[in-house]
Amino acid sequence: MPATPLLLRLSQPLSLDGGGTLPDAQIAYQSYGVLNAARDNAILVCHALTGDHYLAGPHPVTGKAGWWDRMVGLGKPIDTDRFHVICANVLGSCMGSTGPASIDSENGERWGMRFPVITIGDMVRAQAALLDALGIDRLHAVVGGSMGGMQALVWAAHYPERVARALVIASAARHSAQNIAFHEVGRQAIMADPAWAQGDYDPAGPGPAKGLAVARMAAHITYLSEEGLTAKFGRQLQNRDAKTFGFDADFQVESYLRHQGLAFTDRFDANSYLYITRAMDYFDLAEEHGGRLADAFAGSAAVRFCLVSFSSDWLYPTAESRRIVHALNAVGAPTSFVEIDSPFGHDAFLLDVPALDAVVAGFIGRSGT
């Protein structure tokens, strides 16, 4: 599998939902497996908030396995022996695609907070332009978990003729008030850091690392379940026999969270975090249809859908998947839905959950079918 990213500079300015266009947008992507002669075995996998396009195989920067290596590869549920799998870094991110840390070609300056606020729809529009450039008219499937699932929903709603199947895992058709609230805490944590400097920090330096770490810590709690945290950490102490009666990380869960926060600041850009969380908060597929979600899928009756939720996911709980299923039923789209019993909370879609593998493999099926 190739280790260097593929890059596409879009030939046309990208139209944005917020108005105007983004000139010279660049999309970093990666592909796995061979596109067949009929060009009908492509699967687009959409990544989550902080993900990237290094889906499978070793990550060229970290050396660790790609974020969905357990799901995508030879002989895996999304089998690269049969499918041509594509994953693109989302617009607004910092992993190679154009985002606030990129240079605005019109004035040679870093975008920073002058980057336009984008939407999930804009991310998908950029992916559609990528597929155009790759000569792929129609996807065998679009697949995503969490924010990736939101993109899969938009693909099915906005480009139903280009999607045979949509697999939406641990996701929602809108951000709830609680979802928005947690994201707002993260954004305020970043903006409260003087090193954020209204977004005009040097992305090569530490920037608002302290604020970004706090944002990640708060978000990370929402990715796990209470029962999972209790099972993994409980009230166990970190490398000590007794509480220190101080403010060190006495508890394992504190040490773990601090590590999650710090490690994140090494790999992610604070402004990108602001923009992508904003795109997620703005996401409400029903909104452009007067609040009626079924109307968003009025043209999607020929798309096959599969919705997956996890029992302990309280970020995008099963009720949100059910709401999508009801809308799809209303338009007669062939839809399957499964709630998988798992203690891992929202993060289950990234973890070792064999039941998910079976659902994915079964739904994706064989190329050409």
- Taking CB under 8 A as the criterion, the residue among 249, 296, 327, 348 binding a copy of itself is 249
Alpha carbons 343 and 198: distance in angstroms, whole number: 39
Residue number, 287 or 295, with CB nearest to a copy of itself: 287
Indicate whether 234 belongs to the interface with a copy of itself (CB under 8 A).
yes
Does 336 bind a copy of itself (CB under 8 A)? Our answer is: no
Residue 239 in the binding site for a copy of itself (CB under 8 A): no
Nearest-angstrom CA–CA distance, 140 and 364: 8
Q: Measured from the CB atom, is 226 or 341 closer to a copy of itself?
A: 226
Question: What is d(CA 252, CA 264) in angstroms, rounded to the nearest whole number?
Answer: 18
Helices (DSSP H) in the chain: which residue ranges?
120-134, 147-158, 177-191, 209-223, 226-232, 252-267, 270-282, 293-296, 318-331, 354-364
Of the ranges 36-44, 55-63, 144-152, 277-285, which one interacts with a copy of itself (CB under 8 A)? 277-285
313 in catalytic set: yes
- The catalytically annotated residue of 300, 313, 321, 342 is 313
Binders of a copy of itself among 64-103, rule CB under 8 A? none
- Enumerate residues 152-191 that contact a copy of itself by CB under 8 A: 174-178, 180-182, 184-185, 187-189, 191
Using the rule CB under 8 A, is 114 a contact of a copy of itself? Answer: no
Q: In the set 12, 62, 105, 230, which binds a copy of itself (CB under 8 A)?
A: 230
Q: Tokens at residue 145, please?
A: 């978990």
CA dist 244 and 301 (Å) reads 61
Q: Confirm if 72 and 55 have CB atoms less than 8 A apart.
A: yes
Residue in 299, 311, 325 with CA at minimum distance from that of residue 356:
311
Query: If binding means CB under 8 A, how many residues of this protein chain bind a copy of itself?
Result: 57
> CA-CA distance, 264 to 270, in Å (whole number)?
10
Catalytic residue among 146, 272, 342, 367: 146
Burial of 260 (0-12, 13-18, 19+ CB in 10 A): middle
Q: Does 125 bind a copy of itself (CB under 8 A)?
A: no
Cα 326 to its chain centre, rounded Å, is 23
The residues that touch a copy of itself, with contacts defined as CB under 8 A, are: 17-19, 113, 116-117, 174-178, 180-182, 184-185, 187-189, 191-194, 210-211, 213-214, 217-218, 221, 224, 226, 229-230, 232-235, 243, 245-247, 249, 251, 253-254, 257-258, 261, 274, 278, 281-282, 284, 287, 314, 317
Catalytic residues: 146, 313, 346
